[in-house]
Structures are given as C-alpha cells and as structure tokens.
Structure 1
Amino acid sequence: MLIIDCEKCTACGVCETSCAFGAISVPEDCAVVNESCTLCGACVDNCPEGALHIHTIDKHPQTDISDYSGIMVFAEYRHGKIAPVSYELLGIGRKLADKRCVQLIVILPGGKVTEYTDSLIAAGADTVLLAEHPFLEQFREDVYANILETVIRQYKPEVVLAGATAIGRSVIPYVATAVDAGLTADCTRLEIREEDGTLLQTRPAFGGNIMATIECPQTRPQMATVRPNVMAPAQPDPSRSGEVVHLPLTEELLQSQVEVVETVSSADDQVNIQEAEILVAGGRGLESAKGFTLLRELAVELGGSVAASRAAVDSGWIPYAHQVGQTGKTVSPKLYIACGISGAVQHAVGMQSAEIVVAINRDKNAPVFDIATYGVVGDLFEVIPELIKRLQEVKNDAGE
C-alpha cells in the first residue's frame, strides 16, 4: 500500500500532478490517496520531501509449487446465461493447457447451472466443477470466494483465470489474498513458459503508455483477471467429452455476511456495449449531454449502440455503462465511430480492436486519426446530420 507521511508532506501538489490515475489529491495540508492507486511508484519518485513510500509485504517462496498443475477458469453465470468472457477465457486457457500438457478445469457457481456443462466442455474444458445451490443464484462475494478458495486448495491449479468484470474484480482479489497468491489485474495478453509454467501476464501500465509483462515465479496459483473482448473464444467442438463434478457444498461454505434484500435492474444495467457490432462514441467535443441525442439518432440509423469517453462520463452527460477505455470497457465492434474524441491512449486501449474506426474531429492533429481507418476533419454537429440524412436516403432508395 502507499504510505503518506503527513509530517514530511508539505502539500506541494507534485504527487497529484504526477499521478496518471488521479489517485492522489491534496485537499488541505497533506496528500490523500484513493482506491484508484495502482502502486506504480510515480508519486514516490517525484516527491521532493520523501513523504511517500510503498509498503510491501514480504512473501516467502512456496516450497511446493511443483504440486500445482492445470489451468482453472472461473466461469460467470449472470442474467440467465454464461458471461461471454468465460468462453474467451476458455479459448486462451485451452492454449495454455495444451502448451503445458495439463488439464483445463472450469469452476461454475450458480443456482441452476447444470445445463451449461456441455457448452463449457465443447468450448475446451476437460473438467467442469459445478457449485450448484439455490443460495448461489444471487452473487455474494464472500460465498463465491469461500468456494473458489476451497476448490483451489483441493485441485491446486498452477493458473487461475477470471474475467475483469464487476464480479471478477470483486471476488478474485479476495481469493488471491486468501490463498497467498500473486494476481495481475486487467490483462490483455497471456502466454506461458513451457519449461517452468511461468505465466506471462501483460497489461497496460502508467495510464496505458506502456504494456507491462508481469510474472509471479515464486507462488502458485498464478492468478489473472482478463479484459473482456481481448481474447478470442475457441471454436466450439460438440464432439468433445469431459468430466462433470458436482461439488459438495457445506453449510460452512455457504455462510455469508451479506443479505440480498432486493435485486433491481435499471435500464443502464441492460446496456452492453461489449456485445455491440456498431458503436457511435462521443467525447468532450459533444460539449453537453444534448450532443448524445445526435449520436443516438446516428446509432439508430446504423442499428448500433452509443458509447462514450471518460471525459463525457465524468461530465455527467451519459452513464458509466457506456464508457470505453482503460477505466471503462474494452470493445471490439465491427464499426466504431469516434465523435469529438481526441484519442488519448487511455481511450484507445479500450477500442483499438475494432475492425473499422471512423474518426470525426475538428482538430486535424488529434491522436485519434493515428488509429482511425477513415478520418473526417470537421464539425461533428455538421458532419453527423449530413451522415444521418444520407443514410436515410439510402434506406429510402432501397425501399426499407
């Protein structure tokens, strides 16, 4: 954790300006750190008074890491189906398992999930561990963590993968702490060394300016959460066979300190820009929330959805569910139209997998044009209405 010595801190603000994640502020006479801190160390290096330091906990190397074998994937069940990222994890998990000549195991907790075993096996799993119980229909972080911890201690996989989703980001750090394992969050690439099983976990760092590859050579399992839409799911093979194991769930495992009073789904919760094939995204250049009315019109004509940059979300123009980027969602649509978005690396890392990128911006030097397939230099409030008009004309000519 980041430790701030308020006796040394002079509230000069250098740490605040040097933080790429907005994790430090200086409200009064001493700096304050929030949960956005990634422990990158930039503030420590730049503090002129030496008032900041990173406290680390010494980990003793495990002497029995050779006992660990296999790749394990935590599959998410939500809204009546398996989350798409689970199949993406099976795709990369299968490659890692084949390289190490080990089994690919899937753990699936849920209320009623037996029917999904065939699809998981077809997607590459050798063994499906079912944690099935009515109490698991609702996600409770502590219960899911207890089950995963128990399974990891029993099966001893050398690698554990989960999606960098709201659920994955919540429960996996809990489990990693419980089993004293290393964890790399928000990975965009995974490889494994065949000779020793070291997982090479690559993720954006320093605000997306570099890609860092992280290793955990001394502890097992090696745990990673993976961004949705960055790994390709394996082609399903219905002819594959595998083992299905129903896990015994004791009362102790199902003990929870969480009481779910009610589950309410808002309209924003139903927005899933990660599954959209066409996205029309807006940024600071929209100038106000009214600008998104124009984007919605274009999205309707194209049969797509609306997305946004962090600047637009932070301004309160559109909910967070629409945010694309390092602190938002990773998308890979067939068509991505960036309207009034500068194209900073923090945003680009979330949409660079799009097949076609169209950029509309008044600034011809905007970084977004460097990653765009097609670029339009102009006022979006003039360009988009003309684009909508032309699309309607084409539809009318086609008799739609």
Structure 2
Amino acid sequence: MSKTLVWVEHDNASIKDATLAVVTAAAQIGEVTALVAGAGCDGAAAAAAQIAGVSKVLKADDAAYANALAENVAPLVAGLMADYDAFVAPATTTGKNIAPRVAALLDVMQVSDILSVEGPKTFTRPIYAGNAIATVESTDAKLVVTVRGTAFAKADATGGAAAVETVAAAGDSGTSTFLGSEIAKSERPELTSAKIIVSGGRALKDAETFQSVITPLADKLGAGIGASRAAVDAGYVPNDYQVGQTGKIVAPEVYIAVGISGAIQHLAGMKDSKTIIAINKDEDAPIFQVADIGLVGDLFTLVPELTGKL
C-alpha cells in the first residue's frame, strides 16, 4: 500500500480546517502520515493525532519552522520523502508555497489543485479557470499533490489515536527571514470555513456604500463577507475579502452575490457553493448561469428590503 505524507497547516496550537480535507484526499492515495513542523507545536501535533484516518504523526519542533517558511520546510519534507510515495498539501497560500519547492527538490512534476482521486496516480483538476476539468496521470516515482479543500469532505477532527513521533529538524536554510505579519482580525467567520457568505461587487460604488449595504445583511445572517476582485482593486475592502481564482476558494452552504457580474475568475472561486443567490440589475449577467436563485433589480433597493425582512 502507498504511503502518503500530509503537510498539516496549523498555528502551533491547533490545526486549520484545510488539513481535514487534505487527509480525506490523501487517504484515497495511501496510508496517511501527518507532518507537523513548527515551534512549540505540541498542541498541533496532539490535534493532528486525533484526526480520523491518520495513522502516524511526525513532529518537527524547531525555531526554523515557527512561521512555516517554505525555504525551511521544503528540505525537511524532501528528506522524509525517501519513506513515502506521495506528499500532499492543501492548495492554500502556505501549501502552494511549500509544495513546488518539494517537487523541485525531488525533481518531479507537481499535480496541482486536485478535485478527485481517480487512481493511484490519476487525478482530476480544473483548467481554464475551472471551465474544463482535466484528468491527469503522473508517471513520476514520487507524487507531489495540492488539494482543493472545497472538493473533498472534511475528515473527522476527533476519533483518531495516532502515535506522535519526533523527527530531526533540517534547520534554517538561511535563504529567507521572517520579518513580521499584519493579520486582519475579525469576529466574523473566516471565508474558507463560513457556512454563509455575502459578497459584494464593483456595483456598490465605494467603500462606504459597500459597508452600508453588505454589512447589515451579513450581520443578520451571521455570515462572512467576501468581494469580487473588482471591488478589492477599487479599494472597497481589503485583499483578504477577495473570492476567486486569485483570491479564496470557497464552498459555503449559501453564497449571496450582490452586484457581482460573474467574471470567470470569480466563478472559479465560488461555484461549488451549495446554494448561490445572485442579486444584479443586469438579467444577462453571467452570475445568473450558476445561480440557484436570481433576483433581477436594483441592489440598493432589494438588499435593504431583504435585510429588513430577516
């Protein structure tokens, strides 16, 4: 049976939801070993050991891994791959930073953003911004795979009892240095894990109007707030609100698109949502082609009316 090594995304104390979907995908390739690399990461390692489907946890605890710098993590993974057939990581910002470096060190082709596992080395993945699905088969001896988290069910975070084994750190490569981070904090659900998302587009005119129209509706629904790339580029909201191929890939229970025409790159990031509700004055807008419920009209009238009825 094949053996897979899963990169666990975490904050040193707990694991991120993206990891749970990756475990589900990796289990379809082979036996799952989870890799937790961090500094003071006992909490994350203990949480990884409880994930259903994980047979073993490798813990690399070193200051070099405190901020998951890809230049430090990739050599660690490459060194461990002598005992594994596949390395699997989430298609998140961190995962997409680490995986290509691992592939380069192993001299193999990466299979990116998979949607399903069709065989031991065969996968489906989106191309042309999700307008076509390609079936690809790797001929490399080792696999390096990133997983689109919205395409796989999340493994149970509890129920497992994997052993935790400490592995030697590869140390600091000396090629990059962590200087700092500015992380947006919000009481709202994080976009990639929110069950309901209300997104606004360029039609909302400016930042003040975006807040006055979108925020009350999101408050009533307890929803996360997203935006199209056009709205982000126009400065209505920060970059971390962006949904789409160049933003965050989401698949909530309900996605409400307000004043979003439905550019291909935006649809690629949200069309897997369970129920899509579109509000737009243009009845020919592409968003209506993927919407389950469409409301044609002036959003400045319809959205406040909808909010008032909730």
TM-score normalised by length of structure 2: 0.90
- The corresponding residue for 1:231 is 152
- Alpha-carbon distance change, 79 to 331 in structure 1, aligned in 2, over 3 angstroms: farther
- The corresponding residue for 1:73 is 6
- Alpha-carbon distance change, 262 to 374 in structure 1, aligned in 2, over 3 angstroms: closer
Preserved contact between residue 276 and residue 333 of structure 1 (Cα < 8 Å): yes
- The corresponding residue for 1:114 is 42
- From 124, 132, 145, the counterpart of 1:210: 132
SS of the residue aligned with 1:281? strand
Cα shift at 1:74: 0.9
- The corresponding residue for 1:61 is none
- Alpha-carbon distance change, 329 to 261 in structure 1, aligned in 2, over 3 angstroms: closer
Query: Residue by residue, what CA displacement relative to the aligned partner does 1:210-229 show, whole Å, maximum 9, x if unpaired?
Result: 12222221x12111212233
2-structure distance, mates of 1:110, 1:133: 6
Preserved contact between residue 12 and residue 38 of structure 2 (Cα < 8 Å): no
**Which one-letter code corresponds to 1:246 in the other structure?**
T
2-structure distance, mates of 1:79, 1:265: 16
In the alignment, structure 1 residue 242 sits paired with structure 2 residue 162: yes
Identity %: 31
Q: Which residues in structure 2 correspond to 1:1-400 (within 5 Å)?
A: 69-78=2-11, 80-97=13-30, 103-121=31-49, 122-152=51-81, 154-155=82-83, 157-187=84-114, 189-193=115-119, 197-200=120-123, 202-217=124-139, 219-236=140-157, 238=159, 240-249=160-169, 253-267=171-185, 272-293=190-211, 294-391=213-310
Cα shift at 1:180: 0.3
1-structure distance, mates of 2:141, 2:110: 10
Larger radius of gyration: 1
Query: Which structure 1 residue ranges, 5 or more long, are not aligned?
Result: 1-67, 98-102, 392-400
2-structure distance, mates of 1:117, 1:257: 27
2-structure distance, mates of 1:321, 1:230: 21
Preserved contact between residue 128 and residue 244 of structure 1 (Cα < 8 Å): yes
TM-score normalised by length of structure 1: 0.71
Question: What is the aligned length?
Answer: 308
- Alpha-carbon distance change, 71 to 198 in structure 1, aligned in 2, over 3 angstroms: same
SS of the residue aligned with 1:211? strand
Query: Residue by residue, what CA displacement relative to the aligned partner does 1:284-342 show, whole Å, maximum 9, x if unpaired?
Result: 32233333111112111222121111222222222221111112111122221111112
**Which one-letter code corresponds to 2:112 in the other structure?**
A
Cα shift at 1:261: 3.5
1-structure distance, mates of 2:179, 2:46: 33
Cα shift at 1:271: 7.5
Query: Residue by residue, what CA displacement relative to the aligned partner does 1:123-162 show, whole Å, maximum 9, x if unpaired?
Result: 211121111123422222211111111111x31x222110
Preserved contact between residue 12 and residue 42 of structure 2 (Cα < 8 Å): no
**Which one-letter code corresponds to 2:74 in the other structure?**
A
- Alpha-carbon distance change, 191 to 347 in structure 1, aligned in 2, over 3 angstroms: same
**Which one-letter code corresponds to 1:255 in the other structure?**
S
Preserved contact between residue 230 and residue 330 of structure 1 (Cα < 8 Å): no
